[in-house]
Structure 1
Amino acid sequence: MDWSLSIDKAIPKPLRVIFRGAGQVFFCCNAVTGLIFLIALYVGGITAGLAATVGVISSTVTAYLLGFSDDDIDAGLYGFNGTLVGPCLFLFLENTPQLWLFVVLASMLSTVVMAALMRILQPYNIPVSTSPFVLTCWMFMVAVYSFDGFSRGPVLPAQGIPVEIVADSVASTSAWFATFTQDVTVAWYTAITKGVAEVMFADSIIVGILFLVGIAITSLRGAFMALSGAIVGVVVPILLGADQTLIEMGLYAFNPVLTMMAVGWVFLKPSTGSALLALLAGILTVICQAGLANFLAPIGLPTLTFPFVLVMWMFLFAASRSRYWGNSN
């Protein structure tokens, strides 16, 4: 929206770059949107907000110090991975004073990984997206086993062979679709909004709503794709009989949110065709997430946003070979 872009340009450059870095988590190069995202995280929890702020500042300053492209830095491209690193490490590792050092170091490393992967993927015109965040956090999560000053948190999956979910915990299709009682309506509303919020590890309805508002300020199509991805991340797991608790927490939805935004709005020409392609990509992201969760279970690592990254890469590589879809940039 024009008014938000006017405010974006009026914000002092250091703050504008930081806010844009937060906004780029949802592909929004808009300081107003990024500010709303950070406010939403503080609403969800002070620690998460502080961790995201420390992460985006650390990763952005690192890019400046290493002399990376001023245009990329100004667009916030070196900030969004750091924004994700902070809340992620505080969620999965034990909350200690030393963890702040871990967040700073991991955010700095995400910038280096970002630059390296940009160099590798540049010839193919494929975005790096959140892959530096995923690779960095995986490394730091595994590294804690070698350091006495750090330890895993209770949310980090325990190492073990994956097992089938019990029938009692499977989402009942009839319960979700047959009758829309007040409880069922609340369950849908909760799962969809939390699915958007979980992109930044926030287990909060209000955070999800604020994220959608922030995206809509930048692009209504982007907000529509995000909302559609969240719905896909609820409907598809229900139809496939996934764990009901995970569905209600939005944990099957946050990856499709990013996938549908990337394919249906950002990296392909916006059209009905790219929207349908995004829908297919969103559905496959759910299956990819389930498969990767079981693949990573023996080493006790969460999937994070890797299902989104993997599906997005495959669809963008495939689209570059198609006469129907062309890159928008």
Structure 2
Amino acid sequence: MLHNDENDFSKGEFTSFLLASLRGFSQVVFIENAISGVLILIAITITSYKLGIISLLSAFVGTFIGKIGGAPKNSVNSGLFGYNSVLTGLAVSLFLTGTSRWGIALLGAMIAAIFTATMMHFLKNIDLPILTFPFIVLTWFILLASYKLEVFHLSDSLVPQSLSNWHLNITGDLNWAAGFFNNIEQIFFLNHPLSGIFLYSAIFVASWQLGLNAVIGSVIALLISYGLGGEHSLIIGGLYGYNAILTFMAVSIVFSTKSNRFRIISGILATCLTIPLTASFSTWLLPYGLPVLTMPFVLSTWLFLGTRKVMPNL
């Protein structure tokens, strides 16, 4: 009987661990839902089975570190130690080359979980969410290490460019439908016709309100980036949209209450702000060959959530 009890306990522990890891995927879009996590994992795997494997392993690593580290059980089970690890694993495996990148990606996933815990401690006193800040900073440091350490091999897709040779190109037709789906795909660095459908479905499965917010955020991004004269290739590729989607969801619904009477207006303003922030960061990072990642989303969201401490109606 003792042996059977131990087996039942092990099965229960494994199931809990698996569900927590899947929620690590869904927490990227503010959702605590294992089914949504499965749909997101499918969306990633459709684009590349290798990305699907590394993202799942990264979720396992982040969740495992939170668990053995003694983090609050509810935080671990809700996936809060997995989402930064998932994004870090994906980014490192995409932006580095060579066989060593897989090991670096998993090591990055582990450090991302530790960094997440650190940020939780520092930001709890000012009551701000950590969002994807650990993933951003850690990924930038790993990619910059490639200039000084031989084992890190930067991908050819990240090429440092001189600002003096940069020219804005806003020619070409706009495929609005492609831009709409690419906007959400870029949250996970994806580019496949079906991936966007799975990602929007993952959000709607958990909450129609969040799903509607994702759609609105995507539309706002398309209109504002086009109205401001953004490069059509970047608009279609979703590079102006993914930060906008996350920001509108965060400011207008996820981190708002009924006391924030103008939360929808704040959400729209914060979303619009991500467009020039994205342009600014891409310009600033151009000489280093670094991707913008989700920094515009983090800064715009922190700005408006911080403002609410003084102006609660927003």
TM > 0.5 fold call? yes
Question: 2:294 corresponds to which residue?
Answer: 305
Deviation at 1:150, TM superposition (A): 2.6
The whole-number CA distance in structure 2 between the counterparts of 1:162 and 1:49 is: 39
Question: TM-score, structure 2 length as denominator?
Answer: 0.91
The whole-number CA distance in structure 2 between the counterparts of 1:159 and 1:248 is: 22
For residues 189-235 of structure 1, the C-alpha deviation after alignment (integer angstroms, 9 at most, x for no partner) is 10010100110000123111111111011111111111111112211
The whole-number CA distance in structure 1 between the counterparts of 2:156 and 2:27 is: 29
Question: 2:269 corresponds to which residue?
Answer: 280
Structure 1 residue identity aligned to 2:255: F
Question: 2:229 corresponds to which residue?
Answer: 241
Question: 2:3 corresponds to which residue?
Answer: none
Deviation at 1:292, TM superposition (A): 1.2
Structure 1 residue identity aligned to 2:131: S
Question: Does the 8 Å contact 2:251/2:267 carry over to 1?
Answer: yes
Deviation at 1:159, TM superposition (A): 4.4
Matches within 5 A, 1:30-179: 30-94=33-97, 96-161=98-163, 164-166=166-168, 169-170=169-170
Deviation at 1:308, TM superposition (A): 0.4
For residues 2-22 of structure 1, the C-alpha deviation after alignment (integer angstroms, 9 at most, x for no partner) is xxxxxxx9x921111011111
SS of residue matched to 1:124: coil
Structure 2 residue identity aligned to 1:140: I
Deviation at 1:145, TM superposition (A): 2.1
Structure 2 residue identity aligned to 1:29: E
Deviation at 1:249, TM superposition (A): 0.7
- Rate the CA distance shift 1:60–1:160 in 2: closer, same or farther, 3 A: farther
SS of residue matched to 1:48: helix
For residues 229-278 of structure 1, the C-alpha deviation after alignment (integer angstroms, 9 at most, x for no partner) is 11122111111111111111111100001000101120012677212211
The whole-number CA distance in structure 1 between the counterparts of 2:18 and 2:103 is: 23
The whole-number CA distance in structure 1 between the counterparts of 2:102 and 2:264 is: 40
Residue identity over aligned pairs, in percent, reads 27
1:20 matches 2:23:
yes
Question: 2:8 corresponds to which residue?
Answer: none
For residues 76-115 of structure 1, the C-alpha deviation after alignment (integer angstroms, 9 at most, x for no partner) is 0000011111221122111x22111101110111111111
The whole-number CA distance in structure 1 between the counterparts of 2:252 and 2:192 is: 26
For residues 4-63 of structure 1, the C-alpha deviation after alignment (integer angstroms, 9 at most, x for no partner) is xxxxx9x92111101111110100000111111001110111121112112111111111
Question: TM-score, structure 1 length as denominator?
Answer: 0.87
- Rate the CA distance shift 1:201–1:272 in 2: closer, same or farther, 3 A: farther
User: How many residues align structurally?
Assistant: 301
Higher mean C-alpha deviation, range 295-304 or range 101-110: 295-304
The whole-number CA distance in structure 2 between the counterparts of 1:225 and 1:128 is: 21
Question: 1:203 corresponds to which residue?
Answer: 191
SS of residue matched to 2:130: coil
Runs of 5+ in structure 2 lacking a partner? 1-11
Question: Does the 8 Å contact 2:186/2:238 carry over to 1?
Answer: yes
SS of residue matched to 1:119: helix
Question: 2:284 corresponds to which residue?
Answer: 295
The whole-number CA distance in structure 1 between the counterparts of 2:157 and 2:36 is: 29
The whole-number CA distance in structure 2 between the counterparts of 1:120 and 1:214 is: 31
Question: Does the 8 Å contact 1:165/1:243 carry over to 2?
Answer: no
Structure 1 residue identity aligned to 2:156: P
CA RMSD between the two structures: 1.8
Question: Does the 8 Å contact 1:25/1:80 carry over to 2?
Answer: yes
Structure 2 residue identity aligned to 1:136: L
SS of residue matched to 2:157: coil
Runs of 5+ in structure 1 lacking a partner? 1-8, 177-186
Higher mean C-alpha deviation, range 292-301 or range 68-77: 292-301
Question: Does the 8 Å contact 2:128/2:305 carry over to 1?
Answer: yes
The whole-number CA distance in structure 2 between the counterparts of 1:292 and 1:158 is: 14
The whole-number CA distance in structure 1 between the counterparts of 2:61 and 2:146 is: 21
- Rate the CA distance shift 1:162–1:47 in 2: closer, same or farther, 3 A: farther
SS of residue matched to 2:300: helix
Question: 1:319 corresponds to which residue?
Answer: 308
The whole-number CA distance in structure 1 between the counterparts of 2:165 and 2:264 is: 35
- Rate the CA distance shift 1:72–1:206 in 2: closer, same or farther, 3 A: same
